[in-house]
């Protein structure tokens, strides 16, 4: 049994009267890919926001290697080795592709500066399939390429835990295959990944385990095969009529 790196206990987020995340518990084990799935609006992104520090939990605890991180600022959590992509891609529009990636390398979990940061960024651009685009402006990129830049930026701080919010959404079948291979390679080099995803193929081929949420509550946890055959999960996805 490998070590638990991240655990949520009773993690809760309220927006006024709406409970977006309602007392969620789960553990993430080192080197695993954990899927966080559920219908639209079920609270997946909000859960990632709680882990990354973008939002402070209303209640509950989040521990990283046994240390409480709930309520810390995002930069503090990032420096502990947790990095994320955003569901709506976030770029630094006034900067070159290279500078966008370097932004991740300079201040984060592992810090580099000058030529070292540049080399690291260049290597990551190669890795995400953007060789030769270093000097492009962000406005010249396709949507998919901005997703690649964002992943490269996130990888530039060498995170131990990677939070991917629908990073594979919007890719065409061949891009999807490349994307899945890339994420597998990230796990193989020892990173722990939490993957929020709607693409079932990706969930089946990537996730070791999944947590399923509806309306802010966890309704199932297990291997992809287990949870995707769970009648309650099917009901949550398809509505009561189809169960």
Partner 1 sequence: MNLSRDDIPALAFSALLLGLAAMLPLTGSSYWMGIGLSIAMFTVLSTSWALFSGPTHYISLATAAFFGLGTYTVGLGFESLPFWLLIIIAAAIGAALAGIVGLATLRLSGVYFVIFTLGLAELVRQLTTWVQNLTGQRGFYVLTDIGETEIYLMLVGLAALVFLTGWLIGRSRLGFALRIIGDDEEVARHSGINTARAKVLLFMVSGLVAAATGAILAPRYVYIEPSLAFSPILSFQVVIMALLGGPGRLWGPLVGVIPFTFLWEAISSSFPNQTTLVLGIAFLVIVYALPRGFVGLIEDGRHRLRAREGYA
Ligand X SMILES: Nc1ncnc2c1ncn2[C@@H]1O[C@H](COP(=O)(O)OP(=O)(O)OP(=O)(O)O)[C@@H](O)[C@H]1O
Contact positions vs ligand X (CB under 6 A): 15, 18, 20, 38, 40-46, 87
In the DSSP assignment, the letter for residue 2 is P
Q: How far apart are CA 170 and CA 4, in angstroms?
A: 32
- Residue 71's binding partner among ligand X, Mg ion, partner 1, none (Cβ under 5 to 8 angstroms by kind) is none
Q: Is 94 in the site for partner 1 (CB under 8 A)?
A: yes
Q: Does the footprint of partner 1 cover residue 214 (CB under 8 A)?
A: no
Site for partner 1 in 131-160 (CB under 8 A): 153, 157
Of residues 74 through 93, those in contact with Mg ion by CB under 5 A are 87
- Binding segment toward partner 1, per CB under 8 A, in 98-106, 186-194, 204-212, 228-236: 98-106
* Helical residues (DSSP H) of the chain, grouped into ranges: 44-52, 74-79, 97-107, 115-127, 143-155, 173-188, 200-206, 224-229, 231-238
DSSP 165-221: ESTTTT--HHHHHHHHHHHHHHHHTT-EEEEE---HHHHHHH-SEEEEEETTEEEEE
CB nearer to Mg ion: pick between 152 and 163: 163
Does residue number 20 form part of the binding site for partner 1 (CB under 8 A)? Answer: no
* Residue 15 binds which entry of Mg ion, partner 1, ligand X, none, CB below 5-8 Å type-dependent: ligand X
Contact between 45 and Mg ion by CB under 5 A: the answer reads yes
Q: How far apart are CA 44 and CA 11, in angstroms?
A: 12
Q: Identify what 214 binds: Mg ion, ligand X, partner 1, none; CB under 5 to 8 Å per kind.
A: none
* Interacting residue with partner 1 among 57, 108, 179, 216 (CB under 8 A): 108
User: Which of 15/113 has CB closer to ligand X?
Assistant: 15
116 binds partner 1 (CB under 8 A): no
CA distance 173 to 171: 7
Q: Could you tell me which residues come within 8 angstroms of residue 146 by beta carbon, excluding any fewer than 6 positions away? A: 89, 91, 138
- Give the one entry of Mg ion, partner 1, ligand X, none that residue 26 binds, where binding means its C-beta sits below a cut-off of 5 to 8 angstroms depending on kind: none
Distance CA 176, CA 209 (A): 20
The residues that touch Mg ion, with contacts defined as CB under 5 A, are 45, 87
């Amino acid at each position: 049994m490998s070590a638990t790196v991240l655990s949520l206990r009773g993690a809760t987020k309220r927006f006024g009267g709406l409970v977006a995340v309602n007392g969620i518990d789960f553990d993430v084990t080192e080197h695993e890919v954990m899927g966080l799935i559920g219908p639209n609006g079920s609270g997946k992104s909000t859960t990632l926001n709680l882990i990354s520090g973008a939002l402070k939990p209303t209640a509950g605890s989040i521990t990283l290697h046994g240390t409480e991180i709930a309520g810390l600022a995002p930069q503090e959590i990032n420096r502990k080795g947790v990095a994320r992509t955003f569901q709506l891609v976030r770029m630094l529009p006034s900067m070159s592709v290279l500078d966008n990636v370097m932004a991740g390398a300079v201040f984060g979990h592992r810090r580099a500066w000058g030529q070292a940061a540049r080399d690291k960024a260049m290597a990551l651009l190669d890795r995400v399939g953007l060789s030769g685009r270093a000097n492009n402006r962000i406005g010249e990129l396709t949507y998919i390429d901005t997703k690649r830049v964002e992943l490269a930026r996130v990888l530039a701080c060498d995170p131990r835990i990677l939070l991917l919010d629908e990073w594979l959404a919007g890719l065409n079948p061949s891009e999807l295959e490349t994307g899945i291979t890339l994420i597998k390679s990230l796990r193989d080099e020892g990173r722990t990944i939490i993957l929020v995803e709607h693409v079932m193929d990706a969930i089946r081929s990537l996730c070791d385990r999944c947590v399923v949420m509806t309306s802010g509550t966890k309704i199932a946890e297990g291997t992809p095969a287990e949870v995707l055959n769970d009648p309650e999960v099917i009901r949550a996805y398809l509505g009561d009529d189809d169960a």
